[in-house]
Structure 1
Amino acid sequence: MTQKAKDQSQKETGGPEVTVMTDAITELQKAGLGSLSWMGTAWLENMSDLSSEVMSFIADRVKEDVKTQHQILHCNDVSRLQKIQADFMQRAIDQYTAETGRLVAMGNTFLKDVQERDAKTGKDD
């Protein structure tokens, strides 16, 4: 093959980077990872749900931060300030603990969905 033909072929196939990536994926499949298409829409839906949950949690935490700052700015007593800060920390710990539990549960559901899909379709097909 002439250099001009090689250059044209690379332009049509996406260049040497695409070939390297394709070869790497082929080697991973040979190593036993199989096709990842078996993950399908279940993976996409679960990742979307996880992202949505994290964003909602962050929004709620920002609201708590603003609320606490408002309380601190209107506080005239040091003992009240300490109480505001202690309550804020306790709420944060409780909320982060609850959120961790929710994310773990969502992750477990995600894995179960993927395993069920794998059992039905077979990832090595």
Structure 2
Amino acid sequence: MANKAEKSPSSLSEAPLAAFTQLQEAGLGNMVGMSNAWLETMGDMGAEVASFIAERIKEDVKTQHAILQCKNMTDLQTIQTEFVQKALDQYQAETGKLVEMGTKTFAANLKDQDGKS
């Protein structure tokens, strides 16, 4: 068998730290200090998206039920138009919520970094 160069446990544990240091030197700032707030926000955003998807599925089922009850094409067009308009409004509102959540996290992180400087 060929001799394999073994890495010491200390060099293995230093590799992730070295990667963060390189990213910070590249201008990405204090990513380590941001991790807790970022992970918390990502969890909140995930819950928000899951809730939004559940609401949209309810709207889909409601619309399908209404379509099945249609008696003429005019009613069908009205139902479809209302569905699309409501979906657009809800997606726009949800995007705004998610952007606001992310912005608050970045703003809080910047404030923390300014306070530590």
In the other structure, the counterpart of 2:33 is: 38
Q: What are the residue-to-residue correspondences of 1:76-115 with 2, within 5 Å?
A: 76-115=71-110
What is the percent sequence identity of the aligned residues?
Answer: 46
Two-structure CA RMSD over aligned residues (Å): 2.5
Structure 1 segments, 4+ long, off by >6 Å, are none
Residues of 2 paired with 1:113 and 1:14: CA distance?
Answer: 34
In the other structure, the counterpart of 1:72 is: 67
- Unmatched runs of 5 consecutive residues or more in structure 1: none
Q: How far is 1:25 from its partner?
A: 3.6
TM-score by length of 2: 0.78
Larger RCO, structure (CA 8 Å, separation 6 or more) = 1
Q: How far is 1:52 from its partner?
A: 1.2
- Unmatched runs of 5 consecutive residues or more in structure 2: none
Q: How far is 1:49 from its partner?
A: 1.3
Contact 2:30 2:113 in 1 (8 A): no
